[in-house]
């Protein structure tokens, strides 16, 4: 419980050198008011189930606590502080109250409900420890790219793992530490979409199906990960290979003869030349006199036209290593051209080892 804030507000007396250890269940503290009393406390994630809030165990903000007057059965539900996890209910008549701190989808490490006695002019406390589910695993460098974790292959720090539960709209994340270990904690029971990615362009996910559970094209585990109430699941690991990041435009093909009024197809080859799956997207810019009409791309990538531009791919469009995507753009020749330039670009990302091949240009002229 965050007693410091209560001391500052004058709700409990502070004694020099005193150490208050919690949680305290059902305790009553005198305060400078008469007649009515109050109930206050804390809800926190008791990750090690030792019934006390230890360093590193966060508060459970925006959780709910229900207080029921045993005498007449009336109940009040209050929401804990978003940051501190604390709650307080004032103006209570003296008597016995049941306080429930159980949270749907979570296990309780303390009693899920307790009865406390509120004295006239006093305060009772009830704190609740909660344990969520945990997804754990390890990130490592798959030095030989075979998808298997073998002795001597080093851990990889700084990989971001995210668990998302679409029905609960719950999202938690964690990064791998220096030993490659990660733990996504405090999860309510549910089925999670688990994804992995590193901000370091040096690495990309290795092949899945061996010791690495993540599909390099989707950056996620193929099937939802089921987390049961308060349980820790078996490790889900992610292997990474050196990417040697290199995306490129390898070809831009225009018909040999163009006439005003023609409707023709322009072909663009965009390639992921990397040793790992990478995002592949880009655009094609057309000069005045050529108007793009439509665009399509292979490999399931989206493609579209807008004004003088055609685009392909997105920032979620991962393409397998050493794979070429063929983009076809239908254009209308609307005006005379003399050595005009069509420019195709593959988006340059940090770490690209050959940025010179990201751009391809072609000069075009009309006949007649």
Which of 88, 107, 130 is at the close of a domain?
130
Domain count, the chain: 3
One domain, residues 230 and 264 = no
Predicted confidence (pLDDT) at residue 366 exceeds the cutoff of 60: yes
Please report where in the chains the tokens 């409707």 appear, as a residue. 263
- Count Cβ neighbours within 10 Å for each residue of 253-277 and write b for 16 or more, e otherwise: ebeeebeeeeebebebbbbbbbbbb
Q: Do 92 and 38 contact (CB within 8 A), yes or no?
A: yes
Q: Cβ neighbours of residue 263 under 8 Å, at least 6 residues apart?
A: 293, 330, 331, 332, 333
One domain, residues 90 and 188 = no
Looking at the DSSP bridge assignments, the partners of residue 183 are 136
One domain, residues 252 and 351 = yes
pLDDT confidence of residue 47: 97
pLDDT in tens, 17-27: 222 333 334 44
One domain, residues 306 and 330 = yes
Looking at the DSSP bridge assignments, the partners of residue 23 are none
pLDDT in tens, 90-110: 999 999 999 999 999 999 999
One domain, residues 53 and 79 = yes
Which of 130, 162, 177 is at the close of a domain?
130
- Domain residue limits at 88: 3-130
One domain, residues 90 and 152 = no
One domain, residues 193 and 89 = no
- The domain that holds 298 is classified in CATH as 2.60.40.1510
88: nearest Cα among 178, 207, 6: 6
27: nearest Cα among 109, 125, 148, 164: 125
Which of 107, 130, 153 is at the close of a domain?
130
The pTM (predicted TM-score) of the whole model is 0.80
Q: How sure is the predictor about 197, in pLDDT bands with cuts at 50, 70 and 90?
A: very high
One domain, residues 336 and 290 = yes
How does strand 170-175 pair with strand 214-215? unpaired
One domain, residues 93 and 74 = yes
Q: In a 10 Å sphere around its CB, with 0-12 CB exposed, 13-18 middle and 19+ buried, how is residue 54 labelled?
A: exposed
Q: How sure is the predictor about 199, in pLDDT bands with cuts at 50, 70 and 90?
A: confident
Rounded-to-integer distance, Cα 257 and Cα 254, Å: 8
Predicted confidence (pLDDT) at residue 2 exceeds the cutoff of 80: no
pLDDT in tens, 210-219: 999 999 999 9
One domain, residues 273 and 222 = no
- pLDDT averaged over every residue in the chain: 91
Predicted confidence (pLDDT) at residue 6 exceeds the cutoff of 70: no
Q: Cβ neighbours of residue 17 under 8 Å, at least 6 residues apart?
A: none
One domain, residues 7 and 126 = yes
Q: Which two tokens stand for residue 178?
A: 């220096």
- The domain that holds 86 is classified in CATH as 2.60.40.10
Predicted confidence (pLDDT) at residue 153 exceeds the cutoff of 50: yes
pLDDT confidence of residue 249: 98
One domain, residues 96 and 11 = yes
């Amino acid at each position: 419980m965050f007693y410091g804030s209560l001391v500052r507000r004058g709700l409990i007396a502070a004694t020099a050198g005193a150490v208050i250890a919690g949680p305290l269940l059902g305790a009553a503290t005198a305060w400078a008011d008469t007649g009515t009393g109050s109930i206050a406390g804390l809800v926190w994630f008791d990750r090690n189930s030792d019934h006390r809030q230890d360093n590193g165990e966060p508060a459970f903000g925006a959780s709910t606590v229900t207080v029921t007057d045993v005498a007449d059965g009336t109940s009040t539900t209050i929401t804990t502080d978003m940051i501190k996890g604390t709650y307080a209910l004032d103006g209570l008549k003296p008597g016995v109250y049941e306080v429930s701190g159980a949270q749907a989808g979570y296990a309780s490490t303390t009693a899920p409900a307790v009865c406390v006695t509120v004295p006239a002019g006093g305060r009772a406390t009830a704190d609740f420890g909660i344990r969520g589910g945990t997804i754990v695993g390890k990130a490592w460098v798959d030095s030989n790219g075979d998808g298997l974790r073998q002795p001597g292959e080093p851990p990889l720090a700084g990989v971001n793992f995210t668990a998302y539960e679409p029905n609960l709209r719950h999202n938690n994340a964690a990064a791998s530490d220096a030993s490659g270990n990660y733990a996504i904690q405090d999860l309510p029971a549910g089925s999670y979409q688990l994804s992995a990615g590193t901000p370091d362009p040096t690495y990309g996910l290795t092949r899945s199906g061996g010791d690495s559970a993540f599909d390099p094209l989707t950056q996620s585990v193929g099937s939802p990960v089921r987390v049961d109430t308060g349980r820790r699941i078996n490790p889900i690991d992610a292997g990474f290979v050196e990417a040697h990041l290199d995306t490129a435009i390898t070809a831009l093909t225009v018909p040999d003869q163009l006439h005003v009024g023609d409707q023709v197809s322009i072909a663009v080859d965009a390639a992921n030349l990397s040793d790992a799956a990478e995002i592949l997207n880009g655009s094609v810019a057309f000069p005045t006199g050529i108007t793009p009409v439509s665009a399509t791309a292979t490999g399931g990538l989206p493609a579209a036209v807008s004004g003088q531009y055609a685009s392909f791919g997105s920032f979620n469009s991962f393409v397998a290593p050493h794979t070429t995507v063929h983009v076809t753009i239908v254009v209308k020749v609307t005006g005379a051209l003399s050595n005009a330039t069509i420019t195709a670009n593959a988006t340059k990302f940090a770490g690209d080892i050959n940025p010179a091949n990201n751009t391809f240009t072609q000069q075009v002229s009309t006949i007649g």
